[in-house]
Amino acid sequence: MNKGTEINAEQEEVLLTPEPLFRRLITLTSEYLPVEAEELLLEAFQFSRKHHAGQYRKSGEEYVTHPLAVAIILAEMHMDPESIAASILHDIIEDTEINKQQLAAEFGESIAELVDGVTKLTQIHFEDKAVAQAENFRKMVLAMADDIRVIQIKLADRLHNMRTLGSMPRKKKIRISKETLDIYAPVASRLGMNTIRIELEDLCFETIHPMRARVLRDRVKKVRGNRKEVVSKIKESIQLRLEQEGINGKVYGREKHLYSLYKKMHNKALSFADVLDVFAFRVVVDTVDTCYRTLGSVHNLYKPVPGKFKDYVAIPKANGYQSLHTVLFGPRGVPIEIQIRSEDMQKVADSGIAAHWLYKSKGETSGSGSQAHDRAREWVRGLLEMQQSSGNSLEFIESVKIDLFPDEVYVFTPRGDIIELPRGATPVDFAYAVHSDIGDTCLAAKVDKRLVPLRTTLQTGQTVEIISAPGTKPNAIWLDFVITAKARSAIRHYLKKLKQDDAVSLGRRLVDKALAAYETSIDEISQQQMVEYLESAEISDLDELFESVGLGKSIPMLVAKRLINPADEIDTDFKHEDRRAHSRGRPLLIKGTEGMVVTFGRCCYPIPGDHIVGYASSGRGVVVHRRNCNNLKEIDKKPQNWVDVQWADEIGKEFPVNVRLDVTNQRGVLGSLAVTISDTGANIENVHVEEKEREGMIATLHFTIAVKDRTHLARVMRRLHAVPTVLRVHRCGA
């Protein structure tokens, strides 16, 4: 059997034959495993070599060299004996006649389960590469749920395959590398296995962009020589300060790996000089207390940069990573990045959940490694919930990718518990993070004891309280602003389960409940009123109306109001049409209130591009305000009247906005300003002149102008500011 890929010629020569590889494996495991483990690994090696006999890699090596190389990677991470034995045997079921039962009889149920778990990840093949990748990831999650060591073996397997892509066709090498960057490297990061993640990313980078990698590596090598003296001096000064303070710690220079440099240059449009303008160091000490003492020492040595301190010791990252991060003004003002961590934290930073097995082998029941393992298990449980409610593998992997590339914020529950969320998360994301039931029944939210719209973006350090009510259900419009995979998956799942009959029934109950506020009910609404309302809203029948309400597309309170008085005049400019009306070219301004009266607050003059919130007002329908409008303080007291709204994608209408100008009072100034405004394509609707100040030298003018959106307004204000007689320009309202 000709299986696998060619060994890179630059790899160690010891990889060419199995025996030296096995000796190297035993040397590594003897450093931390008991003597009896050697016997288990020898049996696994002999069994694997026997049953892989006659199978060779493209380089001509015995195939067993591959599983041995995978075992060495796991031994370097100090994994447990069962994991290492399973890695030696991981291709047995797939590539030989041996089945799971035979393997269990020879090595026990636990090792057989691990091997079977790894085997299942690669058995099914699909025509569509995207579906294949998605389905393989779904299987990976199921395997991790049974035993998280399965993914650690699979990651080590992928790492060795990436090391030995060899003479594979370039197209296939790029496909494998992209899959590794998309899935395997982020999973390694999420499990805290940073040593593996870094090497995977660099290998993928060198495969996909070989020229860029070569140029970048050469430049790093050149710069390293130029910076050597400065790095050495800073390192010595930090080490000396630690010794003066009686702190037992070791200072290390730290360099970004190639892919990290490339990604930073690419994403932030930085030059190579900008990226390498920072000197980075790591200080490893003995205990958590010493970490904070060390922080004080380095802050006394060099002045800290304000706002650049992060405490991942008190609040660890999702993958269990703990460290103190700070940035200092070094010699001649050069920035110095410093990470301070304990030895235990260092092990977790390198190996993540793999550190758990090291603690376990020493008989310890707690520690950073165990905490990382617990967090990983919690993450996998969350993935299981999502995969059970996802419609297909592609939808599942789309949701998971959101969690694999987070930029975290940390918020608090009212009891002081810390909840970690991706940047941009909202109170609805928070509610689902606490518990699915709380998310499903979320009615309103308080941030730092103040009521806020559900689409509010949360910031680190805020305290969030969810107001829930029995009978409240997820709203389809939430999908427009939630960003966590768990929230999105739960809402989609609920909406999929909500069949048409259920939606009609729910919608009828919601409308009836809203009508009760007017001391009436659906049964008391006359047939004539029903017909008039349905015609005005261009809805075919009551079932369609109730379904729209039940699915969260229409607002019960506004439907009730129109049913009571269907003759309410609707301003056609501000009417929100359904898709049939929209297709005829009428403007759709605000999503979420189709067929209802919508007015815009004259207190704050909202325009497209503003963050907005709707308020259901008696007599005015939905009143749209800017999010920062001062009048919202009054309606804070009635959160049940809030409506989640957002601007439609295409509007094609102009909106009034109030702009105040302080100008030097000269002849012809009003005319020149009017011409400037007209040149920007904006219309002047009204002008008001305030009292003159400073004996007539300064005048204040209020222009009400019609603009298309915030971008248009910004252009008008820039042009006005450039007029020599204009002293100040600002937007009024809110």
Catalytic residue annotation: 94-95
255/236 Cα distance (integer angstroms): 17
Distance of CA 644 to the CA centre of its chain: 23
Q: Which two tokens stand for residue 343?
A: 């030895």
Q: Alpha-carbon Rg of the chain, whole angstroms?
A: 32
Contact (CB, 8 A) for 281 and 330: no
428/62 Cα distance (integer angstroms): 55
Beta bridge partners of 590: 647
422/410 Cα distance (integer angstroms): 9
155/433 Cα distance (integer angstroms): 28
Q: Hey, is 643 helix, strand or coil? A: strand
Q: Hey, is 176 helix, strand or coil? A: helix
Which of 434, 477, 436 minimizes the C-alpha distance to 454?
477
Which of 453, 398, 399 minimizes the C-alpha distance to 426?
453
- 3-state percent helix, strand, coil for the chain, nearest multiple of 5: 50, 15, 35
Positive or negative torsion for Cα 662, 668, 671, 677: negative
Write the DSSP symbol of residue 420. E
Beta bridge partners of 539: none
Residues in CB range of 513: below 8 A, 6 or more apart: 556
Residue 696, phi-psi category: left (phi > 0), alpha (psi -120 to 50), beta (remainder) = left
First to last CA, the chain: 74
366/411 Cα distance (integer angstroms): 26
Number of CB atoms found within 10 A of residue 245's CB: 16
Contact (CB, 8 A) for 655 and 606: yes
200/206 Cα distance (integer angstroms): 10
Residues 48, 49, 54: CA angle, nearest 5 degrees: 120
- SS3 of 328-373: the string is EECHHHCEEEEEEEEHHHHHHHHHCCHHHHHHHHCCCCCCHHHHHH
Exposed / middle / buried, residue 725 (Cβ in 10 Å: 0-12, 13-18, 19+): middle
315/419 Cα distance (integer angstroms): 10
- Amino acid making up residue 235: K
Q: For the chain, how long is the longest CA-to-CA vector?
A: 103
Query: What is the CB-side half-sphere exposure of residue 192 using CA atoms within 13 A?
Result: 33
Distance of CA 559 to the CA centre of its chain: 37
Q: Which two tokens stand for residue 145?
A: 């749920």
Q: Which two tokens stand for residue 534?
A: 């349905």
129/99 Cα distance (integer angstroms): 28
Write the DSSP symbol of residue 571. -
CA distances from 10 to 6, 164, 214 (A): 11, 10, 16
